[in-house]
Amino acid sequence: MGKQRKLVEHPDSADIAAALAKATAGAFRGTVYRSAEPLYARRAKILTGRGSAKHGGRWNPFGVATVYGSTTPETAMAESVAHLRRYGFDPADAFPRVFVAVELKLSAVIDLTNAATRRKLGISLTTIHNENWRKENARGHETRTQAIGRLSAAAGFEGLIVPACDGGKNVNWFPTHLRHGSTAKLSR
């Protein structure tokens, strides 16, 4: 499951890329919160996206470094617990957790909390919340959410604002694609 491998690209990749070529990027400035297991919460590693590049994630296939954050600490916790429940783990196994605040300044993000943007990219809230990326990756296939993330990074966008499981928002960014003047720094 965590082994990095090439996935068959999503069949709608060309359509998604074409929609992204016409997409208007916005900015994001604010604090986001990350929740991590203590083993992965080292200052030098927590903002690299190496773990997601190695294992993949909902918004990135293997090989695309992505850092996942939430706009509130409550949403960060809800995302952690929902992830465990989705895969049949006891939420009590989620603890201990380390929460960090990240001061984020991005100039080119795609906002998938916007219904018009989702329509242009051909993705529904149901797909965002229910697409089983682990199952599809195990079969060797990239999911639509992963294709959007991969193609957004390839098109030069810095990240995505996406709907969270609790009705909040997540901000996922591509640390190797930050533009001049964009930053992601741990809060003190």
Beta carbons within 8 Å of 109's beta carbon, 6+ residues apart: 25, 26, 27, 28, 157, 158, 159, 160, 161, 171, 173
pLDDT at 1: 42
Whole-number Å distance between alpha carbons of 70 and 41:
16
Walk along the chain (188 residues) and give the pLDDT tens digit of each residue: 445 578 999 999 999 999 999 999 999 999 999 988 887 788 888 999 998 999 999 999 999 999 999 999 999 999 888 877 877 888 787 778 889 999 999 999 999 999 999 999 999 999 999 999 999 999 999 999 999 999 999 999 999 999 998 999 999 999 999 999 999 999 97
pLDDT at 2: 45
pLDDT at 3: 54
Whole-number Å distance between alpha carbons of 91 and 88:
9
